[in-house]
């Protein structure tokens, strides 16, 4: 599964309230971070996040093991792991020179 399909699968999983599936598409660090910060298991926490509605992929840029996917409503950061592409930031908005601010990330 390429980075664009992973991003699309995640947003559709969230939209259909399938938190279990959505969490399998997050990196380990991101899934544990949102679980710790919310005090809920990842599948419940990810459905509480302020994420935009699914939209068609508009662009994919891949550099080495990192990828940057833009949709009509969102920017998604992904990284390649042995198990495939996983999300390291989703629901992201630019902040000028600073890192994007993401609704779900490992930071």
Residues of this chain that interact with another protein (CB under 8 A) are: 27-29, 61, 63-68, 77, 79-82, 88-89, 92, 94, 98-100, 102, 105-107
| Nearest-approach distance from CB 21 to another protein, in angstroms | 21
Rounded to the nearest whole angstrom, what is the least distance from the CB of residue 77 to another protein in the complex? 5
93 and 79 Cβ atoms separated by less than 8 Å? no
Q: Among all chains, which residue has been given the structure tokens 């947003």?
A: 11
Query: Shortest gap between Cβ of 23 and another protein (angstroms)?
Result: 16
Task: Give CA–CA dist 16/107, Å, rounded.
Answer: 26
* Nearest CB to another protein, comparing residues 18 and 29: 29
Q: How far is the CB of 64 from another protein (least distance, A)?
A: 4
Comparison of 18 and 66: residue with beta carbon closer to another protein: 66
Between CA 41 and CA 32 the distance in angstroms is 9
**Separation in Å, CA 83 to CA 40, 75, 79:** 25, 22, 11
Token pair 């093991």 in the structure block, residue: 65
16 or 61: CB nearest another protein: 61
């Amino acid at each position: 599964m390429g980075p664009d399909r992973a991003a699309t699968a995640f947003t559709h999983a969230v939209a259909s309230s399938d938190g279990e599936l959505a969490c399998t598409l997050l990196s380990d660090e991101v899934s544990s971070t949102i679980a710790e910060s919310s005090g809920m298991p990842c599948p419940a926490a990810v459905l509480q996040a302020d994420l935009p509605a699914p939209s068609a992929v508009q662009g994919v840029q891949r550099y080495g093991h990192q990828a940057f996917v833009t949709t009509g409503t969102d920017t998604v950061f992904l990284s390649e792991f042995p198990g495939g592409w996983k999300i390291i930031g989703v629901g992201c908005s630019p902040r000028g020179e600073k890192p994007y601010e993401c609704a779900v990330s490992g930071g």
